[in-house]
Amino acid sequence: MRFEYKIEGGDFTNAGLASSQIKKIMKQVGIEPQIIKRTVIALYEAEVNIVAHADKGSIKIDLEPDFIHMILEDEGPGIADIDLAMQKGYSTASPMVRQMGFGAGMGLPNIKDNTDELNVTSEVNKGTRVEMKVFLNK
């Protein structure tokens, strides 16, 4: 099954809507709750990252029998140093994003902890691509 979503930068009202819908679908098809939780936490963090940092973005999700594959692409400032961004506590988030309860430099490390495969590529002033995979039969 394939699902696609459009994400608007700065739209904190709808942030998490895609993750919420994917959570409901995973529940419906009977995936184990712990695996659903890992998947949607990673997806939600990545979705919030687009809202927090980018101008706009898209999410493409393939739900297969054995795994879920998620690609989040955005147009925005990009990440200059991905290794640095993967470190806990490093953040470039705005005061507004911090006021919302995010932007403490925990997002990418938390995504890494909750996925089986993670690949982040980025070009400064163009955008970022986050590719994640979670296996469903662990």
- Does 100 help bind another protein (rule: CB under 8 A)? yes
CB of 48 to another protein, least distance (A): 7
Does the footprint of another protein cover residue 28 (CB under 8 A)? no
51 or 123, CB closer to another protein?
Answer: 51
Min. distance of Cβ 20 from another protein in angstroms? 6
What one-character-per-residue DSSP string does 18-38 give? Answer: HHHHHHHHHHHTT--HHHHHH
Considering only 53, 78, 102, 127, the residue that binds another protein (CB under 8 A) is: 102
Strand (E) or helix (H) holding 83:
helix 82-85
Structural contact between residues 59 and 18, judged by C-beta atoms closer than 8 angstroms: yes
**Coil, strand or helix: which one is 70?**
strand
Closest by Cα among 51, 57, 32, 59 to 134: 32
Q: According to the binding rule CB under 8 A, does residue 49 interact with another protein?
A: no
Among 37, 62, 117, 126, binds another protein (CB under 8 A): 37
SS3 content of the chain, % helix, strand, coil (to 5): 35, 30, 35
Contact window for another protein (CB under 8 A) among 34-42, 67-75, 77-85, 115-123: 34-42
In this structure, what token pair is assigned to residue 72?
């989040």
40 binds another protein (CB under 8 A): yes
Which residues lie near another protein (CB under 8 A)? Answer: 12-13, 15-16, 19-20, 23, 33, 37, 40-41, 44-45, 48, 100-102, 104, 106-107, 110, 113
